[in-house]
Amino acid sequence: MTKISFMLKRSRRPPPHAVHVRYLPGYIEGGPWQMAVINCGNEVVPAGYEEYPYREDEAMHPSGYFYTWDKGRVLDDYQILMATEGRGVIETRSAGRLRIRKGDAIILFPGEWHRYRPDKKAGWTVWWIGLKGDHALRLMNAFFSLEHPVFSLKDPVRILGDYQEIEKMVNRDPERFAGRIAALVTGLIDEIRLAARHWRATAREDLLNKAKLTLLARSQEEVDLAAMAKDLGLSYSSFRRAFRASTGQPPRQYLLAIRINRAKALLQESGRKIGAIASAVGFSSVHYFSRYFREVTGMTPLEYRKKSAGMAFRSRNPSSPG
């Protein structure tokens, strides 16, 4: 088994940067654990760096790992990174450019073009592990996707301890500690899975809030709900199911409820004809408006107007006979 280990500290340019990295190119499948850390390391890039990646670091990495910002790179293993200090950006073929902040985890898939670098004003500290093995493949493909590689971790301090423990055992004897390494990596993946699930729930709720605001703003129009779902990146069935879970109503009923509530306000506040109100709130047919209004309120629009007017009169004249 070939082992390559480097530690580099730069002092020629103020301030220095430091890289610690271990590659285990012969240790691939992880034996019966079916998960192996084939490389791991950490990097400290202080604020004010002159270039990234540092060209002098190329000799530290096997062919294919070092990259330039202009060309990026494509790896053949999974990478799990975590930024413990600073901030930066990552760009991938599937996700585009995304910000990286302190406490973020980054998932990289084999075969996916990418590049990343720290913010020059802030620098960063990043830890990483590279994975191979059938179990790693199953977990990573089950929980993560190419389109969403960055997640905010709930407890990055504890997870940093896992990275440090993994690195220590990889440096000491990866074959002896293969089971412990696999367990720690599985726990690390699970923590990021929870962050990903929270991200998906938050992102889904943001999409639904956007849909609600759109329906509110366009309630007087004929809204193509299938097109709206597509614009949000959802199938209509998924959109309808999620919308109903969030609001208690499917989107069409939600839209009609907005129209009826606006119609109630116009019936109370104006003397406009029923047909004009129906058109103003988005109904193309006064007959359908009147029928649906009665289904919802138990009254025709005229009956609702008369009852509302009577209630308003009594509230202004509390001594009047009912």
Alpha helices in 97-155 (DSSP H): 134-143
Could you tell me which residues are beta bridge partners of residue 132?
36
pLDDT of residue 34: 80
What is each CA distance from 143 to 76, 80, 148, in whole angstroms? 19, 13, 11
Give the Cα-Cα-Cα angle 205, 155, 195 (nearest 5 degrees).
30
| Residues in the chain with pLDDT values less than 70 | 1-15, 25-31, 198-203, 310-322
pLDDT of residue 311: 61
Cβ-count burial 241-268 (b if 16+ within 10 Å, e if not): ebbeebbeeebeebbbebbbebbbebbe
The tens digit of pLDDT for each residue in 190-248 reads 888 887 776 666 667 778 888 998 898 999 888 999 998 888 877 898 889 888 988 89
The distance from CA 263 to its chain's CA centroid, rounded to whole angstroms, is 38
- Other beta carbons within 10 Å of 270: 12
Q: What's the CA gap between 316 and 161, in Å, rounded?
A: 70
Q: What's the CA gap between 278 and 71, in Å, rounded?
A: 60
Q: Does domain 221-322 have CATH number 1.10.10.60?
A: yes
CATH of domain 4-202: 2.60.120.280
Per-domain residue ranges of the chain = 4-202, 221-322
The tokens of 117 are what? 């670098």
